[in-house]
Structure 1
Amino acid sequence: MSTASLSARSSMESLQSSLSVPDKLPPTMEGPMVWSGSKLKPADYIIRLTASDIREIRSAIISFKLLGLPRGAIDKTTFLLSSELSAKLSAKSTELHKGFGVAVIRGLDAANFNDEEATIAFVGICAHVCRLRATDSYANQTLSHVRDATHDDVPEWAKDIGLAGSKITSAMDFHSDRFSGDILALHVRDDGGADGGEQYLASFWKIYNELLEKDPAVLETMAEPNWPFELKQKDREPYLELGPTLFFSKGKPIVQLVKAPLLGSSRIPRDASMPPLSAEQLHALHAVEELAKKHCVLLDRQKGDIQFVNNLSIMHARSAYGTSSKRSTRHLLRMFLRDPENEWAKTGAFAANFNDPFTPGRKQELPVVDSDPWRKISGRESHG
């Protein structure tokens, strides 16, 4: 493709089917999902639970535990809430898919849940926002613990296995978690206090518009299906998977850009057999990162929050936290979700990659305690 063929004057009618690379880029994106950090305020995305809401959630936890079912059985029918509260939560899905792409449910800290209760509440509330939970086929992992595992004793068998981004305390550049799910959900069990780990969000649609005007070649590079992703495997050599970092769903740009499987990291080095990125790809990484920093917002965070981020259109980053001498208390629970009622269409060559985490009937691991930060939870793409 030539840069000229991807001009801002392109019409929507020129697009091919969903998720394929279009002949021409869609024109400038419009709507509430196009925002810069100075424009997005906490009041725009935070909803506060009332005391009555929290009582309902506690009752739903007790009712579910009395059923004697595994946590993987949590859904709207087993985590029962009133129609009013259920509607209040499900409305967040519309905001995530058609609004700012960000939502925070606040106030759960007032319930003082123990670890098991917090896990059930998080999974149950998410079921009323987005019905489906993603499960990583790599390890049947559905719920992960984002925490400082750098002080854990490393068993002998794990000496050569690096910790994933979710288990280390270093800063993370802007990214979206590739083929992990439509909506990223995080429950803040402990924000770590004044210990770093701040979270930042950036609208990729805002970045898209600026690149479309000033450097459309970056978008062309991102849309080419030749990015060399290294995928880890259990007890086997990693393998190369080529694909784009920019997709399109009926004119909506979808970003799936994460650096770890492209560049490696200090804890999970890139295998020497993997090809390097091209100069154009390295330039695209830098251009997107700089614009994300320019337009990002610091996410307003409090203990007990449940955060929801559109993983297809909003990029996220994290500052470093903790110290080398003492374990940080920062602890978040993480899942990826999908709402069949609002999800963006996914067809074409890479539809199976997007849909695989939501394969029906797959066993779901929803651990209350994080006991294996090396093999199962780290995941093959090493994203945080």
Structure 2
Amino acid sequence: MMTSIQSNGYSIYIGKEIFKALSSFLDKSKYSSYFILCDENTLQLCLPTLITSCSKLQTAEIIEIESGETSKSLEFSAHIWQTFIENNADKKSLLINLGGGVVSDLGGFTASVYKRGIDFINVPTSLLAMADASVGGKTGLDFIGIKNVLGTFAQPKAVFIYPDYLNTLSSRHFQNGLAEVFKMALIADKKFWNLLKEEGQDEETLIIKSISLKNKLVLNDPYDKGARKILNFGHTIGHAIESLFLGSVNELLHGEAVIIGMLIESHIAYQKKMILKKELDEIISGIPPYFTMQSLKSIPLDSLIELIKNDKKNHNDKFYFSLIDKIGSCKFDLIVTKNQIKKAIDFYTTLTK
């Protein structure tokens, strides 16, 4: 059984039969050469299934990067471009991104600017990539310690989601992706939020529901000019926190930082009288206890504020946030003050004691 969702000019295939769809896609497309981007984990755990299921990929050039956020850099893009050139990649070459959010972000960006753009497809292997990064057409690199400050809008030619790849994840990396699923429910669908609070949900169902909700926003606002901005809920604070801890012993995964961001930004919404205290309490109690609640006590507020200033939504020295106005609904382009941010961080600190 396989589910197909039509996105912005491409299809997202989900299910155990996706390799048949991938083989069919490759047969029709007649690419001149194939490149597969993966990290050391997906090389070992996911690549064999892909290669044995799609005979055309048995001659593909494999490009391996290090796993983790530090690979989302110009240095690694340069490594991929060099491999393209050394292997005579032309405009009819295809890059296959086999990995999580880092691989799809890096691969999508690198493909989108090589020879002014070559085709790429995503085969996501993490819950984060399946439920969130697989749809939207955003690519991104980190630069001088600022997350996703470089990037392009570039749509893949297709996305193929094989849910069994989730079996390769550690519990921490699975929960990392679940954070974005919770975010999607909080901003767009209260029934989905209520469903998430119940245990034992089918993973494929969660992926399909999350993609469907995000896809609706993306189709209505492909270039992030309006309502699509609500997808940034939890990310203005979350990205700043993720950047602060990058490279430290307490380095956070993206979803872990977003969970913290959602809690802090929910309190900002409460301060602005957008949500009631009982809704704030429901959000706090609804976030599962297994999420990492990193203490922010030692973080200098000024450093955090400087990172928030680099958020792409901000301009004219004002902070613009996307904030929920009830569970299942979100507003965007809301001005938030430094004092409101400080109060919300102080509140979050009480949760981690």
Q: Give the structure-1-normalised TM-score.
A: 0.26
Task: Return the structure number with greater relative CO, CA threshold 8 A, min gap 6.
Answer: 1
Q: TM-score, normalised by structure 2?
A: 0.27
**Hey, which of these two has a bigger chunk of helix by percent?**
2
